[in-house]
Amino acid sequence: MSEYRTGLGWDNHRIAPDRPLILGGIRIPSEFGLEGHSDADVLSHAITDALLGASALGDIGMHFPDTDPQWKGADSLQFLRHVCALIAERGYRIVNVDSTVILEKPKLKEYRIEIRQHLATTMAIELDRVSVKFKTAEKVGPVGEGLSAEAQAIVTLLKTAPRV
Ligand code: C5P
Ligand code: MG
């Protein structure tokens, strides 16, 4: 028996000076970064939540509370890696991941391949299963005014192991 599952993830972080801008584990040269308890990797957080959503295993805050000092400044790829292990244990394989980062500046497209490769390696899947897109908010709303960054992700999982 095989079964497809879909999961949705969304995240938002406030822009702050003197913080790194990390997307998919890649540090992007920028005059500002994102505020957060962990490394504030908004893209990795959205993808992690999408995987948890597809497997109905809760959300990122349930597994990695932002009140827990062990996650202060944490590399968010460790959250992603951990959730990949959780879903693999339950017999899920990742079919594909699609995502969008919404950020007014800097331009991100020149980092697309590096971000995709890093995410694919972290999730132990092929590069062509990982898509990362970028959008501005056309100067409208908090993202458009340069106050925050958002990311959205959707994943499809295939469960091949028999249900227990
Ligand atoms: O938001 P907009 O439609 O104007 O974005 C046009 C293109 O600019 C996007 O398709 C994306 O390739 C690129 N982009 C980018 N970095 C951003 C926002 C958009 O590279 N921060
Ligand atoms: Mg987050």
Query: Which protein residues touch ligand 1 with a CB less than 6 Å away?
Result: 103, 105, 107-109, 134-136
What is the enclosing helix (H) or strand (E) of 114? helix 112-123
Domain spans of the chain, in order of start = 2-160
Protein residues near ligand 2, an ion, with CB under 5 A: 11, 45
161 vs 14 pLDDT, higher one: 14
Q: Nearest 5°: CA angle at 71, between 38 and 102?
A: 25
Q: Nearest 5°: CA angle at 16, between 103 and 97?
A: 40
Q: Give the global pTM.
A: 0.95
Give pLDDT, residue 71.
Answer: 78
The bound ligand whose nearest atom lies closest to the alpha carbon of 150 is 2
Give the CA distances from residue 156 to residues 40, 45, 71, 88, 111, in Å, rounded to whole numbers and listed in that order.
Answer: 24, 16, 27, 13, 24
Number of H helices, E strands in the chain: 5, 7
At 66, the pLDDT band (50, 70, 90 cuts) reads confident
**How does pLDDT run across 92-125, given as a tens digit for each residue?**
999 999 999 999 999 999 999 999 999 999 999 9
Taking the domain 2-160, which CATH number applies? 3.30.1330.50
**How does pLDDT run across 70-87, given as a tens digit for each residue?**
878 789 999 999 999 999
Question: How many A from CA of 8 to the centre of ligand 2?
Answer: 14
